[in-house]
Amino acid sequence: MAMMDSPEIHRQEVRQRYAALAAQCGIDQGGHDQRGQDFSDPRFGSARYDPDESANAPTDALAMSLGCGNPVLVADLRPGERVADLGAGGGLDVILSARRVGPAGFVYGIDMTPEMVRAAQANASQAGVTNIEFRLGVIEDLPLTDASIDVVISNCVLNLSADKPRVLRQAFRVLVPGGRIGLTDVVADDAVSAEDRIRLGRTVGCVAGALSRSEYLAKLAAAGFTETQVRFTHQVAPGMHGAIIKATKPRTSRSTPTTAAT
């Protein structure tokens, strides 16, 4: 997929791919997803979760996991917190988050693919969690009100967006002052060129446009975040890594940047 497509064409292509994956629950009978990847690939999906955490998750939600880490762990969620998961997919991280924040907390799962939202709702109902809501929408224009969320999480989705600075500004907007983000994503070494990232991304599946570590840190800062960190966790291709991304919205901050060009 070419990242120079218009953002809407780009989103349509991504949406079609995930609609197809949702339709077949992400895996075929041979244990491979539509990207031809081995479902037991330790770099992606349910293999990135601690067995203790995933043991009680619905089988379908686990089978549909398409992430590259465990943002629920990264975000260190606490009881009572309000959480938003950007690109919630089959809902595994929403379900696990809902259990962590408990009945006093609440979790929103945002996804632009109707088939994914329906599958996530079915998986959540199978899990019996009620402190959640899935909303159809794009992460570049989050269907959430300003300053209504304590923690933004996301698992391997930002690399798919054609407008990552906008997604980060939206995350900043919906967070309360003092709120935080805890993401997992695929991130490249600074030395890997943008062209090589697209080529390498294809070899590991649907990684369309990974940022380099320096670019990620710069875009987080441009969106207004502080205490930023990008830490590699495991290699997914030469020069490309699964990574943990953390940042904080300052308690006293300038207004949400809306025109930053980065």
Ligand X SMILES: C[S@@+](CC[C@H](N)C(=O)[O-])C[C@H]1O[C@@H](n2cnc3c(N)ncnc32)[C@H](O)[C@@H]1O
Q: Is 87 in the site for ligand X (CB under 6 A)?
A: yes
Q: Is 67 in the site for ligand X (CB under 6 A)?
A: yes
The Cα–Cα gap between 53 and 20 comes to: 28
The Cα–Cα gap between 47 and 76 comes to: 19
Task: Work out how close the CB of 86 gets to ligand X at its nearest, in angstroms, rounded to a whole number.
Answer: 7
Neighbours of 18 (CB within 10 A): 24
- Biggest CA-to-CA distance, the chain: 52
Task: Work out how close the CB of 121 gets to ligand X at its nearest, in angstroms, rounded to a whole number.
Answer: 13
Q: Is 14 in the site for ligand X (CB under 6 A)?
A: yes
From the list 12-20, 97-105, 143-151, 170-178, the region that binds ligand X by CB under 6 A is 12-20
Query: Of residues 89-108, which lie at the interface with ligand X (CB under 6 A)?
Result: 89-90, 92-93
Which residues, at least 6 apart from 182, have a Cβ–Cβ distance to it below 8 Å?
71, 74, 75, 76, 151, 152, 153, 244, 245, 246
Q: Is 157 in the site for ligand X (CB under 6 A)?
A: yes
Q: Which DSSP letter does residue 107 get?
A: E
Query: Of residues 30-59, which lie at the interface with ligand X (CB under 6 A)?
Result: none
**Whether 39 contacts 45, CB under 8 Å:** yes
- Binding pattern for the stretch 108-127 against ligand X, x by CB under 6 A and - elsewhere: ---xxx--x-----------
Q: Which tokens belong to 177?
A: 């002052």
Residue nearest to ligand X (CB): 89
From the list 33-41, 96-104, 132-140, 192-200, the region that binds ligand X by CB under 6 A is 132-140
**Whether 19 contacts 187, CB under 8 Å:** no
From the list 151-159, 209-217, 240-248, 250-258, the region that binds ligand X by CB under 6 A is 151-159
Q: At what angle do helices 7-23 and 114-127 cross, to 10 degrees?
A: 40
Which residues, at least 6 apart from 213, have a Cβ–Cβ distance to it below 8 Å?
187, 188, 189, 190, 230, 232, 243
Pick between residue 97 and residue 113 the one whose CB is nearest to ligand X: 113
Neighbours of 226 (CB within 10 A): 12
Task: Work out how close the CB of 153 gets to ligand X at its nearest, in angstroms, rounded to a whole number.
Answer: 9
Pick between residue 48 and residue 246 the one whose CB is nearest to ligand X: 48
Query: Of residues 156, 171, 210, 230, which one binds ligand X by CB under 6 A?
Result: 156
Task: Work out how close the CB of 3 gets to ligand X at its nearest, in angstroms, rounded to a whole number.
Answer: 13
Query: Of residues 160, 192, 230, 237, which one binds ligand X by CB under 6 A?
Result: 160
Per CB under 6 A, residues contacting ligand X are 11, 14-15, 18, 65-67, 87-90, 92-93, 111-113, 116, 138-140, 155-157, 160-161, 206
